[in-house]
Amino acid sequence: MGVYDFASENTPCWGDSLMAITLGLQQGWNWVSHNLASKVHASRFTGYAQHIIGQYESLVKENEGRWSGTLDGMSTAMGYKVRMSAAADITLRGNLFDVDTLVSVSQGWNWLGCPLYNATTVETALKNYVPTEGDAIVGINAFATYEDGRWVGTLASLSPGQAYLLKCGKAQRFSWNSLATPVIRKARRYAAPQEEEDVPMPWQVDMHAYPNVACIIAALEMDDSMVEDNTVAAFCNDECRGLAKVVDGLLYM
């Protein structure tokens, strides 16, 4: 998740509590949230969006160009899936979310937004959340599970502007744990995640092609050197749907 400030967009006449954030969305499906205190009306996204899905509501653009559905906006600390007809930057303005506000989650799956100001490790961001064995948090291109008292997997940090699916073993209320660094009152841009390219891969996955993901943890019956030196992928016909990464000797896809 790339994060940087638009220094040129600083506006001295704004009140100290006001903030402008820009969400960089890619063509196709994006998992989206915002870190403003107030609900953002869906019209802020309908210029390029074709479909907006919340956990309980949705909004879809029909063939005639009309919108239908019950979703009227995006609430703070909630996650949404947005299908874009083209890549676009969407700028929102308002007061920042107070991270001391308690967020309620139900037992089972919850669509969670990340209302923090900075990208934060999973352990730090969820410091006030009480996990149970088998809990999971899933992003559009990575995930982690809670096992033996720690979060383990390919999802290392939670980033503002992104949405996550949180599987809770028990219902609870918790507050997000922000970084100790102060909030800088500047315009802020949160970019969509990109596939890591540090290791050349024979195949590529388009994370924005579909609204949903499937998570797999697998073990291969071969020695560690063979696992480390090979690439494991999942295909649907000729389309690569997933690439595995090795974490603690297991394949996470």
**CA-CA distance, 74 to 135, in Å (whole number)?**
25
Task: From first to last of the 253 residues of the chain, give the pLDDT tens digit.
Answer: 334 333 334 444 434 557 899 999 999 999 999 999 999 999 999 889 999 999 999 999 988 788 999 999 999 999 999 999 999 999 999 999 999 999 999 999 999 999 999 899 999 999 999 999 999 999 999 999 999 999 999 999 999 999 999 999 999 999 999 876 667 767 888 988 876 555 566 888 999 999 999 999 998 777 666 655 678 899 999 999 999 998 988 999 9
pLDDT of amino acid 127: 95
The single-letter DSSP state of residue 225 is: H
pLDDT of amino acid 228: 59
Tokens 């998570």 belong to residue = 215
**CA-CA distance, 140 to 191, in Å (whole number)?**
13
Angle, alpha carbons 104-163-115 (nearest 5°): 60
**Which residues is 69 bridged to in the sheet?**
59
**CA-CA distance, 67 to 129, in Å (whole number)?**
37
pLDDT of amino acid 30: 97
pLDDT of amino acid 13: 41
The single-letter DSSP state of residue 206 is: -
Total Cβ atoms within 10 A of residue 81: 20
If 0-12 CB within 10 Å is exposed, 13-18 middle and 19+ buried, where does residue 182 land?
Answer: exposed
pLDDT of amino acid 12: 42
Cβ–Cβ < 8 Å for 122, 137: yes
**How far apart, in Å, are the Cα atoms of 123 and each of 2, 18, 93, 205, 228?**
20, 29, 29, 27, 26
pLDDT of amino acid 14: 39
If 0-12 CB within 10 Å is exposed, 13-18 middle and 19+ buried, where does residue 80 land?
Answer: buried
Closest CA to 19 of 190, 142, 196, 153: 190
pLDDT of amino acid 223: 67
